[in-house]
Amino acid sequence: MADLDARGTPSRRFPPAPESVAEARRFVRAALGGAAPDLVDTAQLLVSELVTNVVLHARTEAEVTARVDDGTVHVRVGDRRPDRGLVPHGCPPYAGTGQGLPLVAGLSSRRGVETGAGGKTVWFELRPEGPPRRPDDWEPAAPPSVPGTTVTLLDVPAALYAAAQQHRHALLREVTLAVAAGHDLGVPPKDLAVALDMSQLITASVTAALRREPSGQAIRSLPLSVPPDAEPAVQTLRAVLDLAEEGARDERLLTLPALPRQRLFHQWLFDQIVGQLAGRHPTAWTVVPGEPGVSPSELVAWDAGQVQASRTPTIAADERNRIIAANGPAADLLGWHADDLVGRPLTTLIPEHLRRRHIAAFTSLLLSGQPRILGRSVPLPALHRDGRLVPVRLFIQPQETADGRTVFVAQLAPRASVPAPSARPAGVARPSVARRVPDRLPPAAAADTGRESVLPTLERLSLLADTAAALSNAPHLDEGLEQVGRVLTGRLADWCVVDLFTEDAQVERVSIVYHSSRDPRPEEYQGVLPPVSDADRGPLARALRGAGPLLLTEPPAPSEAAGPLDAHYLGLLRAMGANSVVVAPLRARRQILGALTLARRGLDAPFGEEDLPLVDDLVRNLALGVDNLRLYQETRNIAERLQRSLLPRLPDAGNLQLAARYAASSATAQVGGDWYDSFVLPDGDIALVIGDVTGHNLDAAIAMSQLRSMLRGIAVDRQEPPETVLHRLDMANHSLYREATATCIYGLVKGTENGPWRLLHSSAGHLPPLLIHEDGRTRYLEDGSGLLLGVDPDAPRPQGRNAVPAYSTVLLYTDGLIERREEHLDDAMERLRRHASALAREPLDVLCDELLIGLGADSDDDIAVLAVRPVPPR
């Protein structure tokens, strides 16, 4: 039964319990019986949100009043916590929490908050004509009204903070409801109250700080005001969140556990508050050490446009396992059009035998928050549209969107072309727009004002040395040019742009680096440029023909844009706000490779004629570095093609199933000395070969190819026992490479169609084969072990003989699969046994791929795997 307040308005009080939300809804519907039905529905929705806020945050009784005057609905929701101010931080529509105040702001005709000594009241009105088209926002949230100590959070990524905050609120809400319903999560009600208060205080303080900062920045440094005695409350909040995470992982809450970076971010946030209250100095988020999948360096919010512009095959998927972006290189690699991939399940690109594993791993990540392959370079096959398998290395990193969601961005590369994990976000593709790190600028270049036009001699030499080192130390040309851009925008210019000729004589803008995070991002000027035509007479066209360095003391007039390239370049200069520009050709080996553009915006220190000699020296070094990296990449591509040509096609062996995999190192050269082989001898025996030539370079690959060819020739011609074949191979190898060494296993699988089968093998210093029984038992076949090839060609070689039961598997492998630095070999071999035992009944393709995924990720050595399994006819 409703009461009446002093003005005769129906009023009712509700206890601080979850059930009060539904009761308040029913009360409002009854009290507004004479209003329009749509207004009553809206009022119920808004009252639900406001009473929920009272239950979660104020934790006092809620007083709700509702009436109708001339068709206008008036509703008031009050609590007894005047000290707990509103925190309208705003959330996207899909967020689980934080929507109450934005909903009230968006759906009401008028609204506000009244605060008195005994409490505060949020009120709103709903008029028949509906809310205004652009309702004013709530008043900015005030910082906590308690004596505070300033805690500084350095380099806070806006997107990651939004995601972490949303998840923290969702967890605490779920815990509150669970505890109220009598579920035991190990969280004392008193601790939960402290955690809720501390979380709300942090949110209020961060929200107030964000409102004082310019919007649109990817990273910010925020001053927070927190009580000087907040350390116990922060530790309580940390403990409650840990228990909540445990409950989420056990599926006792509706909210999923946090992803790794969100957990790491909260740990850093709490450590900063506690540490600075204790007198310690701030530690920037950007220098926090990470783990695979939790790197703190991905600061820029994910953007689908950056994926599209990337020249690295890149695919992005959302938390529903749906592809939301794919670029042309990825589509070409897998036989699709990029637009056709968007919206499809990610399993479209995963081979049938790995789909169940992928779904299990992806579900496990969401349910447990524990990554398996995030942040790691993993060799596995992708599925081409025509059904064939494409061996790739996969590197996945999570990224947050600007509104707090999580996206999984995957870079793919052909198995012998390995993407090196970089410190930038995985989805931030080239052409790049890189941040300047202001703390490392020399005093002479610290701002747009006061920059010296001519650098001192020592600084000139230092700049030349640093740009050369940045390019020479980079594993890829794109990454090297980005590092060069950061050096130049830190010391010489506000903008650095590099344009290069491609193999088909097009011009591509491969790097744009800017001086300040407040600068615009001219994304429309990235990528392939208009061709250099006879009509183009502008500075970029002239530089691409070999003229320069050219000095522009003011932007060209629009009338000077004679051709499409001129107009495009003029638009770029306008977008940068450039007041002075130097553009110079990149020339090496009597060829023009491209052009470098350096631009300054300020009027106080424009480029002058005295800067041109320095720029000329810079482009000489830069062109030489670009040429060297291109030659290196060309060599790597040749090595990749060579490596692919050396991989054999496995024979059709009847009732002997065969599978093999090869993965280049994730950290070293694309070509090495690992190899496998299998062929049918004239007498019907199946030959199995695996080996590893010392070295990871082209010489090792050449030696490997010759060894493989000689072994085939000797084995097919002689058809002798394995130990004799290896002896002859050692003698032949000694005549070619007296100092070269290699390991090798040569084996023969003998048996009729129905069995029994046996393996005869001899090993030249190679790791022993692993016999995997159908029931999971495993045994290393250590008999038949002898010296490496190249040590003593006259030494006798033993032979091993072992029965191979039906449905068991013989696994041959190279050391890159198991050996790790600072780990004993016995431990590594035991790990292989465990993995192989668990996969004993899986198809051979699954077994090989799972071994590479589970053991070969991030391996700094090449890997070859060969498996054989006898399967009698049914």
Over residues 63-73, the pLDDT tens digits come to: 999 999 888 99
**513 vs 829, more confident:** 829
* pLDDT over threshold 80, residue 463: yes
pTM of the model: 0.62
Fold of the domain built from segment(s) 304-414: Beta-Lactamase (3.30.450)
**717 vs 404, more confident:** 717
Res. 96 pLDDT band, cuts 50 70 90: low
Task: Calculate mean pLDDT across residues 423-444.
Answer: 33
Question: How many CA atoms does the CB half-sphere of 555 hold within 13 Å?
Answer: 19
Give the pLDDT score at 364: 79
Task: Calculate mean pLDDT across residues 6-27.
Answer: 85
Give the pLDDT score at 798: 94
**638 vs 654, more confident:** 654
Res. 289 pLDDT band, cuts 50 70 90: low
Rounded Cα distance, 673 and 671, in Å: 7
**600 vs 522, more confident:** 600
Give the pLDDT score at 417: 38
Res. 435 pLDDT band, cuts 50 70 90: very low
Task: Calculate mean pLDDT across residues 712-718.
Answer: 91
Res. 291 pLDDT band, cuts 50 70 90: low
Give the pLDDT score at 520: 61
CA distance to 132, 593, 819, per residue, from 480 (Å): 52, 16, 31
Closest CA to 170 of 98, 243, 233: 98
Give the pLDDT score at 639: 63
Rounded Cα distance, 382 and 333, in Å: 10
Most confidently modeled range among 16-20, 373-377, 424-428, 813-817 = 813-817
Tokens matching residue 27:
């009360």
**312 vs 266, more confident:** 266
For 3-126, CATH gives: 3.30.565.10
Strand ranges of the sheet holding 62-69, from the earlier edge strand across to the other edge: 3-4, 10-14, 62-69, 72-79, 120-126, 110-115
Most confidently modeled range among 381-385, 399-403, 544-548, 790-794 = 381-385
Give the pLDDT score at 95: 52
Res. 447 pLDDT band, cuts 50 70 90: very low
Give the pLDDT score at 8: 61
Query: Which positions ≥6 away from 51 have C-beta within 8 Å?
Result: 14, 20, 21, 24, 62, 64, 77
**619 vs 211, more confident:** 619
Query: Which positions ≥6 away from 514 have C-beta within 8 Å?
Result: 433, 434, 436, 489, 494, 495, 521, 576
Query: Which positions ≥6 away from 639 have C-beta within 8 Å?
Result: 416, 669, 670, 671, 698, 701
Rounded Cα distance, 480 and 485, in Å: 9
Closest CA to 355 of 323, 327, 328, 383: 383
**159, 322, 397, 333: CA torsion to nearest 10:** -130
**222 vs 144, more confident:** 222
Query: Which positions ≥6 away from 727 have C-beta within 8 Å?
Result: 793, 796, 797
Rounded Cα distance, 525 and 536, in Å: 17
- 356 φ/ψ sector (left φ>0, alpha ψ -120 to 50, else beta): alpha
Give the pLDDT score at 595: 92
DSSP 599-663: EE--SSS---GGGHHHHHHHHHHHHHHHHHHHHHHHHHHHHHHHHHHHSPPPP-BTTEEEEEEEE
* pLDDT over threshold 80, residue 217: no
* pLDDT over threshold 50, residue 570: yes
**111 vs 762, more confident:** 762
| Identity at 124, one-letter amino acid code | F
Domain boundaries along the sequence of the chain: 3-126, 149-287, 304-414, 432-635, 647-870
Among the residue ranges 62-71, 89-98, 160-169, 790-799, the one predicted with the least confidence is: 89-98
Domain 647-870, architecture per CATH: 4-Layer Sandwich (3.60)
Res. 425 pLDDT band, cuts 50 70 90: very low
Among the residue ranges 347-361, 510-524, 669-683, 744-758, the one predicted with the least confidence is: 510-524
Q: 3-class SS at 262?
A: helix
Q: What are the respective helix, strand and coil percentages of the chain, to the nearest 5?
A: 40, 25, 40
Among the residue ranges 62-76, 247-261, 742-756, the one predicted with the least confidence is: 247-261
Over the stretch 497-516, which tens digit does the pLDDT of each residue have?
999 998 778 888 888 888 76
Res. 413 pLDDT band, cuts 50 70 90: confident
Angle at the Cα of 309 from the Cα atoms of 336 and 316, rounded to 5 degrees = 60
Most confidently modeled range among 215-224, 486-495, 828-837 = 828-837
* pLDDT over threshold 50, residue 483: yes
- Specify whether the CB–CB gap between 79 and 198 falls below 8 A: no
Question: How many CA atoms does the CB half-sphere of 396 hold within 13 Å?
Answer: 20
**531 vs 807, more confident:** 807
* pLDDT over threshold 80, residue 250: yes
**pLDDT > 70 in the chain, percent:** 83
* pLDDT over threshold 80, residue 330: yes
Same fold, 3-126 and 304-414: no
Task: Calculate mean pLDDT across residues 746-769.
Answer: 93
Query: Which positions ≥6 away from 33 have C-beta within 8 Å?
Result: none
Query: Which positions ≥6 away from 629 have C-beta within 8 Å?
Result: 471, 474, 476, 477, 480
Most confidently modeled range among 89-93, 285-289, 782-786 = 782-786
Res. 713 pLDDT band, cuts 50 70 90: very high
Tokens matching residue 347:
């399993």
* pLDDT over threshold 60, residue 141: no
Most confidently modeled range among 16-25, 569-578, 640-649 = 16-25
Rounded Cα distance, 103 and 97, in Å: 11
* pLDDT over threshold 60, residue 106: yes
Helix axes 612-646, 477-491, angle to 10 degrees: 160
Task: Calculate mean pLDDT across residues 81-99.
Answer: 62
| Summary mean pLDDT of the chain | 81
Task: Calculate mean pLDDT across residues 630-653.
Answer: 74
Task: Calculate mean pLDDT across residues 674-698.
Answer: 88
Give the pLDDT score at 519: 58
Res. 15 pLDDT band, cuts 50 70 90: very high
- Specify whether the CB–CB gap between 512 and 489 falls below 8 A: no
Closest CA to 492 of 609, 624, 623, 607: 607
For 432-635, CATH gives: 3.30.450.40
